[in-house]
């Protein structure tokens, strides 16, 4: 531990000291607007909740293949994959796993209703289609309903292009027989816009089992499409859809006791998701009342063939209708409100063939009594087909001082209903389960310095989950466990753009997460340091680096819990732009060739080198 920590400090110091010569800057956007916090566009400086934004410009600096590669750089987020792209990926936000995170792609809820605990299949999301990522942290049940206990992720793939037709292509190839590529088409007029994205990935991969020698590959084909037509100044119609198809080879053999570590086998799985959303935006009362109504449908089909030939199938659907309204009552007071209803259905080869439905309505007041102060209060009432009514609430505040200091805070509740698997699986299910409930709080201080070229923020967070649903090894099924899941921690971030050609960003997260019995939550580093630096040493050249340091992690070990090794990951990209519309680049992953694990017994990628290009026309 001590040697790793010293090496961590050395890497940190080298990047800071060498930033002027090893780090492309983008000006810090002090007027940034976010949508997830209040469900309507709001200046980030007036938002009390914690929101992180990753833009297309940020992603273009790194050219990473998977959405989780960018999500893992956000403070408070940790990703643990069981074998790389396409494999089972556990996602954590502020120490809470993926079943507590509501995830949307272009407004579509992409969670898998057939999964053990309903959540998004993060390992299947490529990054080539992405335009923007917003991450809203803290319990958001009042605005988003069930499952938004840890927060919300909103991914956009369709931007807002200037009028005209815009096309782009990209391609990359390199280590482990990896090839990825994509095509995008965007067009816009004064009355309409259309977007299409197609991306694909194939890789020979590496052994899912850390001790194995057989490579486990992955193939993915994904696409999104969307369009909008403005009928008149008060009415717009829109529609969008997505398609994801993934084929994964993996290992599911297990070694001898006491650890039963995964070993080589010839297992494989297929994943397919198709979804669409369509609706209308319309304004009433001279534009003071804005409305959106939409209908969405999602279909997920999965199958898994074990190394012994056993076949498991999973099919799920979601139908949802939602309404959002926003009324400007006075210049200082706005009311947002909405309602939604959805039905989820899961059918599996294990014998599940069930549906549940839920509906809810909510209202939120956004009040700015004075220019520096913005307060919000919201409440929601849900009705579940199995559990009846449930009320959630949230309050936030943001205050901007003339000195560049901003105080921000939020407190809210949430809940998670048991998944269809937890309720109805013939072997492990328990129909007597009831919803989990949560209370979360955060408070932070943001400081702007050097004419807004530097922004620092420190935020404390805490969350408790009661009525936790976990697997009980004494009854061999899911039960409501005594005690609470608790997370406490601190997120600190620093963004500094000293010149037009230099950009530096750093983040540190401390997380203390415990299970109902008081034991530590597995696969969550207690300390995470993230560093990104970009420099434009010459007009056509850009060099960027990304470093991630993870310290003090535990995971299952036999029948108990034991430590995982610390690690330092260093990635870099060198890009050359022969013209304004083309880019050639060389990208390296895990340049220190670290041997590490994020899930005990499962492999991780070693040193990788990739060459790629991008072109727009």
pLDDT in tens, 438-448: 999 999 999 99
The structure tokens listed for 499 are 């010149």
Which CATH code fits 2-616? 2.40.170.20
Which of the four pLDDT bands, split at 50, 70 and 90, describes residue 28? low
Strand partners, 556: 561
Strand partners, 186: 166, 195
User: What number of other Cβ atoms are within 10 A of residue 585's Cβ?
Assistant: 21
Mapped onto helix, strand or coil, the DSSP state of residue 468 is: coil
Peptide bond into 258 cis (omega under 30): yes
Pairing of β 469-472 and β 502-514: unpaired
Cβ atoms of 575 and 585 within 8 Å: the answer is: yes
Query: How does 303-342 read in b/e, with b if 16+ C-beta sit within 10 Å?
Result: ebbbbeeeeeebbbbbbbbbebbbeeeeeeebebbbbbeb
The pLDDT, as a whole number, for residue 559 is 83
User: What number of other Cβ atoms are within 10 A of residue 572's Cβ?
Assistant: 17
Cβ atoms of 220 and 268 within 8 Å: the answer is: no
Cα distance between the two ends of the chain: 51
Mean pLDDT across the chain:
93
122 vs 114: CA distance, rounded Å: 15
Cβ atoms of 81 and 141 within 8 Å: the answer is: no
R_g over Cα of the chain: 24
The yes-or-no verdict on residue 5 having pLDDT over 50 is no
- Rounded to 5°, the CA angle 361-461-437 comes to 40
The pLDDT, as a whole number, for residue 257 is 81
The structure tokens listed for 497 are 């753009």
**More confident site: 255 or 577:** 577
- Rounded to 5°, the CA angle 433-434-440 comes to 130
The candidate with the shortest Cα–Cα distance to 240, out of 252, 258, 223, is 223
The yes-or-no verdict on residue 23 having pLDDT over 70 is no
Length of the chain: 617
Query: Residue range 175-186: average pLDDT?
Result: 97
187-222 confidence digits (pLDDT tens): 999 999 999 999 999 999 999 999 888 999 999 999
85-128 confidence digits (pLDDT tens): 899 999 999 999 999 999 999 999 999 999 999 999 999 999 98
Cβ atoms of 300 and 338 within 8 Å: the answer is: no
DSSP assignment, residue 162?
P
% of the chain surpassing 90 pLDDT: 90
The structure tokens listed for 349 are 């080869």
Can you give the pTM of this predicted structure?
0.92
Which of the four pLDDT bands, split at 50, 70 and 90, describes residue 129? confident
Query: How does 532-551 read in b/e, with b if 16+ C-beta sit within 10 Å?
Result: bbbbbeeeeebbbbbbbbbb
The yes-or-no verdict on residue 174 having pLDDT over 60 is yes
Query: How does 190-218 read in b/e, with b if 16+ C-beta sit within 10 Å?
Result: eeebbbbbbbbbbbebbbbbbebeeebbb
The pLDDT, as a whole number, for residue 255 is 81
Locate the domains of the chain by residue range.
Answer: 2-616
Which helix or strand (DSSP H or E) is residue 338 part of?
A: strand 333-348
Residue 534 CB contacts under 8 Å (≥ 6 apart), including other chains: 23, 24, 25, 61, 502, 503, 504, 542, 543, 544, 545
248 vs 457: CA distance, rounded Å: 40
240 vs 405: CA distance, rounded Å: 40
Query: Residue range 242-254: average pLDDT?
Result: 94
The structure tokens listed for 204 are 């020979």
One-letter-per-residue 3-state SS of 52-66 = EEEEHHHHHCCCCCE
157 vs 224: CA distance, rounded Å: 7
One-letter-per-residue 3-state SS of 496-539 = EEEECCEEEEEEEEEEEEECCCCCECCCCCCEEEEEEEEEEEEC
Measured in degrees and rounded to the nearest 5, phi and psi for residue 397 equal -150, 145
Cβ atoms of 439 and 464 within 8 Å: the answer is: yes
Query: Within 13 Å of residue 505, how many CA atoms lie on the same side as its CB?
Result: 22
One-letter-per-residue 3-state SS of 399-444 = EECCCCEEEEEEEEEEEECCCHHHHHCCCCCCCCCCCEEEEEEEEE
Query: Within 13 Å of residue 239, how many CA atoms lie on the same side as its CB?
Result: 3
The pLDDT, as a whole number, for residue 27 is 46
Query: Residue range 25-37: average pLDDT?
Result: 71
The structure tokens listed for 102 are 């509501």
């Amino acid at each position: 531990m001590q040697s790793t920590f010293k090496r961590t400090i050395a890497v940190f110091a080298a990047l800071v000291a060498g930033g002027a010569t090893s780090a492309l800057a983008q000006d810090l956007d002090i007027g940034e607007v976010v949508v997830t916090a209040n469900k309507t566009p709001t200046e980030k400086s007036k938002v009390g909740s914690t929101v992180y934004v990753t833009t297309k410009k940020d992603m273009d600096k790194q050219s990473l293949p998977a959405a989780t590669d960018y999500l893992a750089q956000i403070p408070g987020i940790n990703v643990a994959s069981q074998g790389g792209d396409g494999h089972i990926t556990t996602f954590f936000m502020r120490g809470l796993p993926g079943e507590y995170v509501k995830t949307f792609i272009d407004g579509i809820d992409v969670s898998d209703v057939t999964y053990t605990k309903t959540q998004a299949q993060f390992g299947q999301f490529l990054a080539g289609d992405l335009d923007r990522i917003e991450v809203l942290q803290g319990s958001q049940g009042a605005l988003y309903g069930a499952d938004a206990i840890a927060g919300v992720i909103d991914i956009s793939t369709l931007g807002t292009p200037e009028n005209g037709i815009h096309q782009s292509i990209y391609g990359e190839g390199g280590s482990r027989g990896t090839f990825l590529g994509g095509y995008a088409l965007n067009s816009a007029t004064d009355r309409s816009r259309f977007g299409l994205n197609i991306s694909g990935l194939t890789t020979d991969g590496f052994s899912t089992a850390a001790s194995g020698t057989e490579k486990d590959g992955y193939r993915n084909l994904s696409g999104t499409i969307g369009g909008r037509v403005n009928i008149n100044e008060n009415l717009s119609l829109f529609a969008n859809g997505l398609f994801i198809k993934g084929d994964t080879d993996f290992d599911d053999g297990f070694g001898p006791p006491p650890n039963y570590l995964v070993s080589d086998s010839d297992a494989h799985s297929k994943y397919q998701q198709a979804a669409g959303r369509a609706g209308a935006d319309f304004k009433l009362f001279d534009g003071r009342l804005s409305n959106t109504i939409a209908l969405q449908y999602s279909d997920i089909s999965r199958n898994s063939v074990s190394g012994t030939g056993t076949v498991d199938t999973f099919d799920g659907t979601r139908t949802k209708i939602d309404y959002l309204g926003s009324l400007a009552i006075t210049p200082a007071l706005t009311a947002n409100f909405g309602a939604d209803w959805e039905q989820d259905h899961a059918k599996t080869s294990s014998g599940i063939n069930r549906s549940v439905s839920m509906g809810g309505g909510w209202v939120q007041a956004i009040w700015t009594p004075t220019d520096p102060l913005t307060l919000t209060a919201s409440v929601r009432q849900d009705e579940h087909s199995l559990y009846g009514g449930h009320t959630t609430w949230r309050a936030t505040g943001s205050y901007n001082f003339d000195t560049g200091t901003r105080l921000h805070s939020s407190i809210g509740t949430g809940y998670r209903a048991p998944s269809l698997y937890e309720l109805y699986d013939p072997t492990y299910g328990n129909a007597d389960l009831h919803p989990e409930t949560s209370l979360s709080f955060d408070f932070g201080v943001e400081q702007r310095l050097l004419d807004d070229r530097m922004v620092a923020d420190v935020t404390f967070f805490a969350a408790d989950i009661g009525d936790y649903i976990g697997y009980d090894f004494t009854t061999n099924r899911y039960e409501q466990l005594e005690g609470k899941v608790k997370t406490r921690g601190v997120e600190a971030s620093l963004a500094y753009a000293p010149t037009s050609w230099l950009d530096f960003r750093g983040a540190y997260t401390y997380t203390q997460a415990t299970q109902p019995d008081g034991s530590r939550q597995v696969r969550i580093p207690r300390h995470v340091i993230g560093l990104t630096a970009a420099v434009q040493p010459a007009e056509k050249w850009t060099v960027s680096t990304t470093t991630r340091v993870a310290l003090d992690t535990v995971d299952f070990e036999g029948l108990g819990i034991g430590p995982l090794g610390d690690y330092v990951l260093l990635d870099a990209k060198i890009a050359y732009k022969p013209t304004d519309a083309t880019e050639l680049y060389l990208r390296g992953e895990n340049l220190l060739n670290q041997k590490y694990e994020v899930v005990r017994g499962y492999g991780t990628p070693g040193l990788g080198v990739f060459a790629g290009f991008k072109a727009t026309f």
